Structure 1
Amino acid sequence: MRLTSFTDFGLRALMWLAGDPERVFTTDEIAQAFGISRNHLTKVIRELAAAGVVTTQRGAGGGFRLARSADDITLGEIVRLLEARSALVECFRADGGACALTPGCRLKGKLKAAREAFLCELDRTTLAECAYPASGKAPPKPVAA
């Protein structure tokens, strides 16, 4: 299952927060550390805050941090939350899509089972297990292929 950049950015930010859970981080700080769009990250953080995964503070000294212990947040929860807006395939959309292969398609059931197996595995992994170690340094920048 391919994750959207929305989910990718969310997971990276949460891994960073989990490495130093008492600290408040700014969107600028995280976006710069990962070399990602601040505006896009802001949307991700807004969604995580609405779901109660992070808390936000406005004003001087503001930013965001985990709302719950990283031990209580599973990767499956986060992926479900952040991927809810994009269907894996058209027929998984809330409106059922308009695929010409429906209702005789034999692929949908296989994709659904694979998606559930993927998410089930992520349900077994907590954010704490994937926390980026708190070192005071930014994570290494990705190397271009």
Structure 2
Amino acid sequence: MVLTRQTDIAIAALVVCTKAKGQIVQINVIAKASETTAAHVAQVTRQLARLGWLESHRGRGGGLTLSDGAETLSLGEIVQILQPSREDRKVGSRPICNVFHEAERSKFAYLDRFTIADLARDEWGGSCRENRRPVAGSQIDGTLAIRPSSNDRQHVLA
């Protein structure tokens, strides 16, 4: 499954704020955790605040906290909202289309089994950024060199 960079940052922000257990988290902490810039995190977290998942605290010592109940958000719900399904596109009436529509539904059913709280407990460690494709035939010190996927704005969720 492919996550947009914005969805990856959003999930990281929600996890970091969940781990903070009500303490205010500054944007730069989330930026470090999601390996991006503070400006990009600010853009994504504004959307999360509008959705009611994060609360923004302005001024000196300001930052973000998780909204009440947001730790129970399922990954399926988050991805469906931040990356709307493309089921509405006309793909035809061939039998293969039904297979792909069912696969889309199954993907979200699987993601619905996991919450932000599950990720905050580090039960599923690792980062989407770690799942990058190796450069064909290149090795450094006996290990494969890794490069980003062809679309650097997307990351693969294993």
Q: Using structure 2 for the length normalisation, give the TM-score.
A: 0.68
Q: After the TM superposition, which of the residue ranges 105-114 and 12-21 deviates more from structure 2?
A: 105-114
| Secondary structure of residue in 2 paired with 1:3 | strand
Alignment gaps of 5+ in structure 1: 134-138
1:103 maps to 92
Per-residue CA deviation, residues 42-82 of structure 1 (Å, 9 max, x unaligned), is 22111111111111111112111110235422111211121
2:109 maps to 120
Separation of aligned partners in 1, 2:50 and 2:7:
15
- What percentage of aligned pairs have identical amino acids? 29
| Secondary structure of residue in 2 paired with 1:108 | helix
Do the aligned partners of residues 51 and 32 (structure 1) sit closer, same or farther apart at CA in structure 2, a change above 3 Å counting?
same
| Secondary structure of residue in 2 paired with 1:125 | coil
Amino acid at match of 1:39: A
1:6 touches 1:44 (CA, 8 Å); kept in 2?
yes
Amino acid at match of 1:29: V
Separation of aligned partners in 2, 1:50 and 1:37:
20
Amino acid at match of 1:113: E
Quote how far apart the aligned CAs of 1:130 are. Answer: 1.1
Separation of aligned partners in 2, 1:37 and 1:112:
36
2:66 maps to 66
| Larger strand fraction of residues | 2
Do the aligned partners of residues 58 and 123 (structure 1) sit closer, same or farther apart at CA in structure 2, a change above 3 Å counting?
same
Amino acid at match of 2:12: R
1:16 touches 1:132 (CA, 8 Å); kept in 2?
no
> How many corresponding residue pairs?
128
Do the aligned partners of residues 83 and 24 (structure 1) sit closer, same or farther apart at CA in structure 2, a change above 3 Å counting?
same
Separation of aligned partners in 1, 2:99 and 2:39:
36
Quote how far apart the aligned CAs of 1:17 are. Answer: 1.4
CA RMSD in angstroms, aligned pairs only? 2.6
Separation of aligned partners in 2, 1:29 and 1:71:
19
Separation of aligned partners in 2, 1:46 and 1:108:
36
1:7 touches 1:82 (CA, 8 Å); kept in 2?
yes
1:52 maps to 52
Do the aligned partners of residues 129 and 39 (structure 1) sit closer, same or farther apart at CA in structure 2, a change above 3 Å counting?
same
